[in-house]
Structure 1
């Protein structure tokens, strides 16, 4: 097997987490541009790049499905890798949210496909968790948030495309499983062996459910209430907790899982800008400034590290 075919065979579905991070950055910049009434349109450029990235990854992974169907099925049944399949549906939902004002018709198509696929993958993952013979406590990691808590993203564009009851259905699924998964994942972290180095960046996913939940909740009810403040504060606590361990994360060797840093931070940035708009509190304004600055620097580092790893052929190899 030549090098190109080998890399296609080992092309991981987790690549779509790069789309989540880039789309989160695009939406964050879009919110910032509107909030500050800026004529700067960096978000449009970022969205174009992100859309192209998604299409390229979709074509490559479709080729893998056609040529190496057994390897795709193996990923789908893998106790760790299976959690990354919903990054495809979540990417579609985030693109739908990003295109909502620019192209409502395209946004609707992306949302319908994304929400449908998200529901299918959620039901598949939940069924596999309930009826299995392969999962062990050491397989549990924060990436397990992705399949079910990803449903909380649906209402962000969903309230504009479908009856609100559908958005409440998806949001409720995510909200129900968020504390359950938080509890069992913390149990695994405290009482069992440490996460493998390659999975340590997924700890940042703890930020995503409360941050996304803040955005979705305000979208659903139309204003900030006590529960909004609760979810945002939980997201901020996890953000502070993980940033206090920054020296530990800096020592980790680069893996594709580094992209797990990006979307949670983008979600917290968007939530901060939303809270600024809703409350007028300057605390959220300065927090939004700080987070979007960090997010930009982080994405630049991630792109550079990823391109360098591709050049050195450290990604899409057997055993990774």
Structure 2
């Protein structure tokens, strides 16, 4: 039986579902990650301003629907266009975005637990997302370690994404430990520790590599310009996950040293937030910041930093941390709304589904 030739995209009209699936970028799930962290941080602030609670719940359900819609072409691509999906997995840049699917599941797990209070979907998304995070972290990095296709010009903070996925595990995984018992709890605790340890040290190594690229090679501009903000993701997630794991360990650990360590990461996050903003403004002035799907790279990292700020402010008693967090949340809302509107416009025209995006 002769296999049918893959469809050729029709550039003159709206792409078919098959064309969308064939070229479906794995980075689409950064939209779920970003919308989810906005929902979670809005929920956190609803403790101060109750009128934010319905907004957080609305964002939660919006994100659930968004994940379901995006999962259809993502899964269809693996089933019908497996060669294209595998080629992306071996790409020196695009491969790093594959873990966003799994990270989106972990973010949804945190949403189900914190905002909606439903344990069953929270556990299902957490266990499924955790398994996929480990799977993609090995699959993506194995091809990079074994091959010779990655050069310094391919190194951007997007390389952090597999590490970010690992450190996101305890965001929902820590609180979920309180709902599990026996062997399931022991396994979940082990997975949380493994993810936090592997992701944190991986970030330390990749940090040096990305700074080397920024100093010694050409700057990442154009579609890759927003990746400068990805530095904020591990800097925001690691403190939250670290504190979550500390709360669940079966032995007593003084929290103060780890709280101070979290403050150091937060301080670097503030510095990098300013740097990322300067780099973005410079790229925009130079006409090197076209809209693309990569704009969602602004959202989750900034939201992760907001989450860390809101978590550290009451624990440290430093009011300035909370003020920075609130200011960044307002920026997060503005960037999310702008990126969503531009994305919907790209969806309506079909331009955002073209391979170059």
Distance 1:197 1:301, change over 3 A: same
1:14-70: CA deviation from partner (whole Å, max 9, x where unpaired): 111100100010111111113445573211110100010001100121122222221
Q: How do residues 52-71 of structure 1 correspond to structure 2 at under 5 angstroms?
A: 52-71=65-84
What is the CA distance between 1:253 and its match in structure 2? 0.7
- Structure 1 residues 67 and 14, CA, compared in 2 at 3 Å: closer, same or farther? same
Query: What residue is the counterpart of 1:317 in the other structure?
Result: 354
1:147 is aligned to 2:162: yes
- Cα RMSD over matched residues? 1.7
How many residues align structurally?
Answer: 320
CA distance in 1 between counterparts of 2:325 and 2:163 reads: 27
CA distance in 1, matches of 2:342, 2:51: 31
Measure the CA separation in 2 of the matches of 1:59 and 1:6: 13
User: Which residue number in structure 1 is paired with residue 210 of structure 2?
Assistant: 185
**Range with bigger deviation, 112-121 or 233-242:** 233-242
Alignment TM-score, normalising by the size of structure 1? 0.95
Larger Rg: 2
The separation in 1 between residues aligned to 2:163 and 2:46, in whole angstroms, is: 31
Q: Does the 8 A contact of 1:14 with 1:84 survive in 2? A: yes
Distance 2:48 2:243 in 1: 16
Partner Cα distance (1:54, 1:139) in 2: 28
**TM-score, normalised by the number of residues in structure 2:** 0.85
Matches within 5 A, 1:250-261: 250=284, 251=287, 252-261=289-298
**Within-5 A mapping of 1:28-177:** 28-36=41-49, 40-101=53-114, 102-159=117-174, 160-161=176-177, 162-163=185-186, 164-177=189-202
Q: CA deviation at 1:249?
A: 4.3
Would the aligned equivalents of 1:214 and 1:231 in 2 still touch at CA under 8 Å? yes
Once the 2 structures are TM-superposed, how far is the Cα of residue 93 of structure 1 from its aligned partner? 0.6
Cross-structure match for 1:11:
24
**Correspondence for 1:238:** 272
| Runs of 5+ consecutive residues of structure 1 not aligned to the other structure | none
1:119 Cα deviation after fit:
0.8
Aligned partner of 2:304 in structure 1 is: 267
Unaligned runs of 5+ in 2: 1-6, 178-184, 248-254
How many angstroms does 1:313 deviate by? 2.7
Which 10-residue stretch deviates more, 132-141 or 259-268?
A: 132-141
* 1:275-312 deviation line (CA, Å, top 9, x unaligned): 12212322122112211111111111001111122233
Say if 1:149 and 1:177, in contact at 8 Å, map to a contact too.
no
